[in-house]
Every structure is written in structure tokens, then in C-alpha cells.
Amino acid sequence: MALRREGIVLLCDKPAGITSHDMVQAVRRERECKAGHAGTLDPFATGLLLVLLDGATRLQRFFTGLPKTYLTQARLGWRAGITARRTLSGNVRVVVQLRQRNGDPQTQASLTGEMRHPADENRDRPLRFSEMSPGIYEAELTGLAPGNWDVLVSNQGHDPFQASRRLWLP
């Protein structure tokens, strides 16, 4: 007769400087069990990370659909609007509109990013943006499955900047 392992949801206070994956790996090693998380936090972010153990990993999809609140602090005063849509060919086009504090377009940024799947880190995909017009940056991906995706964008140039948004892709 097989033993049934009950699930546990750990409420973890993730510190800055480690990834969500690192935190799950540490719990997995310490507890010697199956473990996952219910949504990625950026390495620089602090906050609540739900770590799901054993049978609770099957509940992950319910946790990722819950409303979340993100608080950020921008030093530069830049504002980023992040959208994504499917093209007629089925690809996903991610558009970032980047504005300075005074509303002018932020040009010549060196944006990179990542599309992160909240349930499966193996599906994460890098984003490489091109400036299509002043302050408008686009990246296009093929083969992205429908569902929730976290879009993470950062400026690799002289002025550091990061923005993120969870999107639903049909």
C-alpha cells in the first residue's frame, strides 16, 4: 500500500538577491520532497512566496489565478506600459511603451526581458526588444502557449530600470 503524502503550503518571506527557484530548491533539499511555487518573484524583489509541497503542488493553478499586488519604486521616474497580443501568424508580440517623468518618450533604451511562465520555469523565454518608434519597443516570440505569463523588462544601458506585468495570452 502506497503512502499518501499530504500537501503543505509554506508562506515564505523571500529576501532580495535570490531567485524563487533558489528558494524552492532549498526547501526541496531541506524537506526531501516535491516542491514548487505559485508565482515567480524577481531576484531583486522581496515578498511573499507560496512554496507548495507534495500534494499541494497540484493546487498551483488555483493560486496563480488569485489577485496580486505589486509595489515598486522607480528612481528615474520612467513609466512603462507593457502589453502583449497574438499576431495573425500566432506569434506573440510584446510592446513596451517607455516614457520619461515629463511624458516624453524614453528613446535609445537597451531593453531586454523575459517571458516567465508562473507554473513551469522550463517554458521561460528571453525577450530582445527593438525600438520601433520613439519610446516604443517590441519583441516577438513564436510557440508561446495560452495562459498567464509574467513579462519582465529591464534596461541594460546607463540608467537601470525594471518593470513587470502579468498578462493573459489567449
The CATH number of residue 106's host domain is 2.60.40.10
Decide if 93 is inside a domain: yes
| Burial (CB count within 10 angstroms: exposed 0-12, middle 13-18, buried 19+), residue 84 | buried
- Check residue 101 and give its pLDDT: 84
Can you list the residues of the chain whose pLDDT is less than 70?
1-5, 67-76
Task: Indicate whether 1 belongs to any domain.
Answer: no
Which residue in 95, 52, 83 sits closest to 166, CA to CA?
83
Residue 100: predicted pLDDT: 87
Q: So what's the pLDDT on residue 128? A: 93
| Domain limits for position 152 | 79-169
108-122 residue pLDDT tens: 989 999 999 988 888
**Separation CA 9–CA 153 (nearest Å):** 29
In a shared domain, residues 96 and 56: no
Q: HSE, CB side, 13 Å, CA atoms: give it for residue 35.
A: 21
Sign of the Cα pseudo-torsion (123, 81, 46, 167, in order): negative
What is the structure's pLDDT at 76? 61
Indicate whether 57 and 88 sit together in one domain: no
Residues 85, 158, single domain; the answer is yes
- Residues labelled as active-site residues: 42
Same domain for 26 and 98? no
CA 102/CA 107 separation, integer angstroms: 13
Asked if residue 84 is part of any domain, the answer here is yes
Same domain, 44 and 115: no
pLDDT of residue 70: 62
**CA-CA distance, 113 to 8, in Å (whole number)?**
32
Number of domain units in the chain: 2
